[in-house]
Structure 1
Amino acid sequence: AGPPGRPSWPEASPSGDGAPPAPAREEDAAPETREGDAWHQAARPAGTDGLPSPDGIGGGVTGGTLRRRLGALRELIGLSRTRLEGRVLAEAGRVLDEAGARAQLSAAYTTVAIAGATGSGKSSLLNALSGRTLSETGLRRPTTAQPVACTWEAEREGGADGLLDRLGIAPGLRRRVKDPSLHGLVMIDLPDHDSVASGHRDHVDRLLGLVDAVVWVVDPEKYADAMLHERYLRPLAGYAEVTFVVLNQVDRLPGEAADAVLHDLRRLLDEDGMALGDYGEPGARVLATSALTGAGLPELREELGVLAATREAPARRLTADLDGAAERLRRVYADPSLPGPAGLTEADREEFEDLLASAVGARAAGQAAERAWLRRAEGSCGTPWSQLVRRHDARRAPAPRGTGGFAEQGAEPVVEHHPGERAGAGSARPVLGQAVRQVADRASVGLPDAWRRTVRQAAWRGAEGLPEKLDALIEEALAERRVSAEQAHAGGRPSGLRRGAGPTWWSVALLAQGLLLALQVVGVFLLCGAVFGGYQGSMWLPVTF
């Protein structure tokens, strides 16, 4: 995110009727909108499609992921210009600006700010790391009035000048050091963040929004200062992976007091929401040092050397910027109270398809076909007595129109129903409108009014021509049916479903029913003969007791 202390963003305030605000003319745009548009208007030689090259912000997998996220953010801003206020999008535009500016500069250098309160020993720590007096120290407070930079050269001399120009470091306050263990590191000694001098805090806030990483230097007296935690550490908790917290002046603490203070500092950072990088986990590194005695300096030098060697700090910093911007934009685009992501579910899509099927009569046709199939199954697999009853009822009933004399042939008429047949070969417009409205409402759940209106408009635009297309499909289905009926009539067979059509097991069931009928006839014949004495002698098997 941007420098601490910046004004907070207001919520989006669309009109009361939910309509998106009308597109504003460029000359009427707010100043913050024009500033956020700098990424869109500036030349973009660093990468394709206006996005920074991954090589300039860390490279590798991380850089490629950032490039995709930056592209998504740019597209989101483009879609939001006519729907949200300019100041809501200004921070996201600043992230794009800074990403493009950083990508055009050398990736061989990592900029690290040394920040802290008055008397914490920032300048002394920088001098101890460099091995020479680079930044003025003394009893006068505040001692550091202007940012002082120290560059451990990584390539040609002056290779970090572009970065220092971007940070606004005066040429006379730039120092260079030759040390292979820290090559590529650029450290900036900032003024005191709690300085009473005007302009010092502005320097701190501005540079904290531009550097790749920060080393916060605290002392045993002010490590729990409310201003430090509430104004800086707590708002910047999302930047834990590019943050170092150094407890300096531990030589002033007797015995085990240093461990106790360090433990309490970790507790405060945890309460601030800042993840700690203990045991190899990603997060802020907490160290104890003494610029006077040199205690803890080798560990700090090693950590800074790894940070500069991996060249991942710019990408991590930009990732935290994107995370912060996305979190602030989330409440503008979706209701944070929603339990899950907004949008259509599979059940919503299935319900929409069911409504479309109802609109064209496909559901009624399917139900009619199912009933006809069940009747045919009962006619094919039922008992011979039930089939006789059905034939008798079919002979007594008048022949339906369009059956081609099917009833007269002694079989039950079966009529196929096709989509649109009952609705005059046309789709039901009210049902289609209900389907479109319902899917638009489901898709816009949790969105602000402006975006909800946009989703509805998009749904209606997408539904243009839908009734005509469905009508065309209905006509095509009816045409195929007419052709099939004409072919059936020419062949002298009924136009309905064929009597013999059906699964193979129907024939097996029919054969079984015939065998049962034969057994019944034989049984009745034998029973009648036994009753009327038609048999001589005993016809039953002998039974012994």
Structure 2
Amino acid sequence: MTASTTDVQYGLGARFAALTRLVELGAGRADQATLAEAAQLLVRAGDRLRLSPDHTVVALAGGTGSGKSSLFNAISGLELSPIGVRRPTTARTHACVWGLDGAGPLLDWLQIQWRHRFARASALDKGESQLHGLILLDLPDHDSIRALTDTEADRLIKVSDLVVWVLDPQKYADASVHRRYVTELAGHDAVTVFVLNHADRLSPEDREICVADLRELLSKEGVDGPQVVVTSAVTGEGVDDLKAVLAESVVRRRAAFQRLEADLDRLMSPLTKDVADLSSVEPAVDGARREGLTDALCDAVGVSAVGEAMENVYGVRSVDWVGWPYARWAARLRPDPLSSLRLGDVKDEIRALVGSAVSAQPAEVDNAVQALADGVTQGMPEVWQAGVRDAARSRSGELPATLSDELSQVAPPLDRVPGWWWLLKIWQYLLVVLFVAGVAWAGSILAYGVLKVGPAPMEILGDVGLLPWLGLLIVGVLGLGLLSGMASRNFVVLGAAKERERLERGMRRRVAAVAEEMVVAPVEGELRRYNEYFAAVAAASRK
């Protein structure tokens, strides 16, 4: 095998590897008929490349009366294919092999019956060594009325390395040939040869006209620079020219690769056209869209509402700890306006708020997911945009419930009493004790020192001179109590805001984690699939 042939084989192998990946990635996205055809081509290419690379399969195809069987016999130098007047003349494919060694598996793959295989063992003795490695097939007439032979001709035309179309001068413009075969083989110029047979029936002028007309017709069918050989199986005219064409293909050992390459080019043409104006997309969802999705999901599940409720609960609960005791005692004499909050179990209250917020907003969750999918699919084909949207919604049914379950675990630690609440409560009750002690002391002085109800048990309990100082003590204690109560309320507000911020941060982290797992990851998987498909199309199309 020559170096150039090896290069072609390796390049073709890389392209078919890309085609394999394309078929895998394109399922449900690309045209299914095209993918099915690509899968068939992969199977055919794998089989052909596995079989003898030293043989070139050349098919003589043509309609009834074109003289291809006569031409087959003329090339082989033997009467191998039957010639007669009954139509169709050729009912089964006949094969003539120059160099039988290693050709058996290939002939089996071509489904050539044993009784229709012939070997030219003496080819080297006749000076035809240049044809060594040729497998020449005489196909059934393509326009046969027998469905079996018609199907066999179609099959072998698709798998042959080189197709030689044998045309009758009287009907070379036959629509059945051009519509069913020539148009389909456009782009296969290197592996297609056209033979204008029965040249003995034409005058030199008519021959030139027919050849020119045939070339023009083929050009209109998309065949660029068609190779046309004029022959006559009766007189032998042009047979050597045709043998030279076949010999060139056999010697170069490239026809099999060129045929597969042409088949691949034709297959890739509509696929490359579909993506010609497209480019790859960023495979990762950017940070701004991730944040946007998290924000939207947080709004959908009511994170702010839960945080606000928690902040209110925190403030109400602090009243029992940091409020001025006298104010609390006075408030107890009035009906409790907070009884409707049902604060017996704060964690259960918060979990209930979270759960109700999530389950009530499925439409907003779906809108958030839709917005992300729309944002990352700009410029993609509609079928791939739909794929990204489907991936984004692939777990949308369980998304609200998952968010609810996750967020219900984020309960604020309100059963834990902050240390400064304890210190403030001790300080306030110390002031209460001082206030009570001061009032009792002042009452004792009034009783014993002013009203003289009896002798004072102790001198200081009847010393009237201490009354002004006791008054200042009582007023000071009351002032300190009120000031500490007011200050504590400010600290409670700040503490409640920090607890709300902590809760919302924790909820947001959980929302972001759920969004990453259930929305972002599937979307990025589909974006990577699109980029890999795009790269596979480019690789399979590269020559």
* Cα deviations by residue, 1:353-375 (Å, 9 ceiling, x for unpaired): 9999999xxxxxxxxxxxxxxxx
SS in 2 for 1:259: helix
* Cα deviations by residue, 1:331-367 (Å, 9 ceiling, x for unpaired): 7xxxx3x77234449xx99xx79999999xxxxxxxx
Give the whole-Å Cα distance in 1 for the aligned partners of 2:391 and 2:223.
38
Aligned partner of 1:317 among 240, 255, 259: 259
Higher relative CO (Cα under 8 Å, sequence separation at least 6) belongs to 2
Return the letter of the residue paired with 2:107.
L
Displacement of 1:310 after TM fit?
0.8
Give the whole-Å Cα distance in 1 for the aligned partners of 2:154 and 2:38.
18
Gaps of 5+ in 2: 294-367, 397-507, 513-543
Return the letter of the residue paired with 2:219.
D
Where does residue 440 of structure 1 map in the other structure? 376
Displacement of 1:330 after TM fit?
5.4
* Cα deviations by residue, 1:143-202 (Å, 9 ceiling, x for unpaired): 11100001111xxx4421111111111111111112302111111001111112331211
Where does residue 171 of structure 2 map in the other structure? 222
Pairing 1:140-219 to 2, within 5 Å after superposition:
140-153=86-99, 157-177=100-120, 178=123, 179-219=128-168
CA contact (8 A) 2:194 2:228 kept: yes
Return the letter of the residue paired with 1:76.
L
Give the whole-Å Cα distance in 1 for the aligned partners of 2:61 and 2:252.
23
CA contact (8 A) 2:182 2:221 kept: yes
CA contact (8 A) 1:106 1:163 kept: yes
SS in 2 for 1:442: coil
Displacement of 1:323 after TM fit?
2.0
SS in 1 for 2:60: strand
Aligned partner of 2:44 among 98, 102, 125: 98
SS in 1 for 2:204: coil
Displacement of 1:236 after TM fit?
1.5
Gaps of 5+ in 1: 1-54, 277-283, 360-431, 461-466, 472-545
Pairing 1:451-530 to 2, within 5 Å after superposition:
451-453=387-389
Give the whole-Å Cα distance in 2 for the aligned partners of 1:250 and 1:230.
24
TM-score (norm 2): 0.53
Where does residue 327 of structure 1 map in the other structure? 269
Give the whole-Å Cα distance in 1 for the aligned partners of 2:3 and 2:378.
40
Aligned partner of 2:278 among 341, 346, 350: 341
* Cα deviations by residue, 1:55-74 (Å, 9 ceiling, x for unpaired): 89994221111111111111
Q: Could you say if the C-alpha distance between residues 57 and 81 of structure 1 is closer, same or farther in structure 2, counting changes exceeding 3 Å?
A: farther
Where does residue 228 of structure 2 map in the other structure? 286
Quick check: 1:63 aligned with 2:9?
yes
Give the whole-Å Cα distance in 1 for the aligned partners of 2:381 and 2:34.
22
Displacement of 1:438 after TM fit?
6.6
Return the letter of the residue paired with 1:175.
F
CA contact (8 A) 1:233 1:272 kept: yes
CA contact (8 A) 1:241 1:316 kept: yes
* Cα deviations by residue, 1:377-435 (Å, 9 ceiling, x for unpaired): xxxxxxxxxxxxxxxxxxxxxxxxxxxxxxxxxxxxxxxxxxxxxxxxxxxxxxx9999
Give the whole-Å Cα distance in 1 for the aligned partners of 2:89 and 2:101.
27
SS in 1 for 2:178: helix
Give the whole-Å Cα distance in 2 for the aligned partners of 1:57 and 1:450.
46
Quick check: 1:242 aligned with 2:191?
yes
Where does residue 219 of structure 2 map in the other structure? 270
Displacement of 1:249 after TM fit?
0.8
Give the whole-Å Cα distance in 1 for the aligned partners of 2:375 and 2:147.
58
Tell which structure's C-alpha radius of gyration is larger. Answer: 2
SS in 2 for 1:256: helix
Return the letter of the residue paired with 1:168.
Q
Return the letter of the residue paired with 1:341.
L
Where does residue 401 of structure 2 map in the other structure? none
CA contact (8 A) 1:112 1:188 kept: yes
Give the whole-Å Cα distance in 2 for the aligned partners of 1:356 and 1:454.
18
Give the paired residue count: 329
Q: Could you say if the C-alpha distance between residues 230 and 82 of structure 1 is closer, same or farther in structure 2, counting changes exceeding 3 Å?
A: closer
SS in 1 for 2:165: strand
Displacement of 1:442 after TM fit?
2.2
Give the whole-Å Cα distance in 1 for the aligned partners of 2:384 and 2:57.
40
Give the whole-Å Cα distance in 1 for the aligned partners of 2:260 and 2:116.
27
Give the whole-Å Cα distance in 2 for the aligned partners of 1:240 and 1:273.
9
Return the letter of the residue paired with 1:304.
L
TM-score (norm 1): 0.53
Shifted more, 447-456 versus 103-112: the winner is 447-456
Where does residue 204 of structure 2 map in the other structure? 255
Return the letter of the residue paired with 1:219.
D
Give the whole-Å Cα distance in 1 for the aligned partners of 2:78 and 2:27.
52
Where does residue 110 of structure 1 map in the other structure? 56
Give the whole-Å Cα distance in 1 for the aligned partners of 2:193 and 2:116.
24
CA contact (8 A) 2:289 2:372 kept: no
Displacement of 1:223 after TM fit?
0.4
More helix by share: 2
RMSD: 4.1
Where does residue 83 of structure 2 map in the other structure? 137
Displacement of 1:81 after TM fit?
3.6
